[in-house]
Amino acid sequence: MLISLYLGFLSLLYFAISITVIKARWKNKVSLGAGENNEILHLVSGHSNFTSYVPIFLLMILALELQKFNPLILHILCIIFCVGRVIHFITMKDQEKKIKLRKPAMMLTFWPLIIAACLNIYTYFLPIFS
């Protein structure tokens, strides 16, 4: 199943994000929350953002894959989504790139989500109208 590939890749990215947050907490001696540290607040927000978008996207891809939807389209959606998540991770670590890359990261995350949602709705209704 192709979802295994992207689940694995996104899990490794999640691990990298988690390590980045942990290192910042150690460096700034902040155990819980963000304290008064904007760096930690930004990193925790990015971590939370990842955990919000990735599971729903992967569930939609799994549903499409189980319905034997075109694997090429699923790969394209997953690659675009993963690129968006990587760019978002870069913006977490580098404040200078944050402004320039924030919008592309959002678009590369949102469009695959929207398309996957529409494809799931389409595949649900397809047998009714066939």
- Euclidean distance between CA atoms 89 and 102, whole angstroms: 10
| Annotation: CATH topology of 2-129 | Four Helix Bundle (Hemerythrin (Met), subunit A) (1.20.120)
Share of the chain above pLDDT 70, in %: 91
CA angle 87, 90, 94 (to 5 degrees): 140
User: What average pLDDT does this structure show over 77-105?
Assistant: 85
Task: Calculate what percentage of the chain has a pLDDT beyond 90.
Answer: 58
Radius of gyration of the chain (CA): 17
CA distance 87 to 97: 9
Residue 35 has pLDDT above 70, yes or no: no
Domain boundaries, the chain: 2-129
Answer yes or no: is pLDDT of 42 > 80.
no
| pTM of the predicted model as reported, rounded to 2 decimal places | 0.89
Q: Is the pLDDT of residue 85 over 80?
A: yes
Average of per-residue pLDDT across 30-35:
68
Work out the mean pLDDT of the chain and round it to a whole number.
89
Give SS3 for 100: helix
Residue 40: the pLDDT is 73
**Confidence at residue 97, expressed as pLDDT on a 0 to 100 scale:** 63
Cα–Cα distance measured from residue 80 to residue 103, given in angstroms and rounded to the nearest whole number: 14
pLDDT at residue 61, as a whole number? 98
Across 14-39, average pLDDT: 80
Question: What is the Cβ-side half-sphere exposure of residue 2, based on CA atoms within 13 angstroms?
Answer: 20
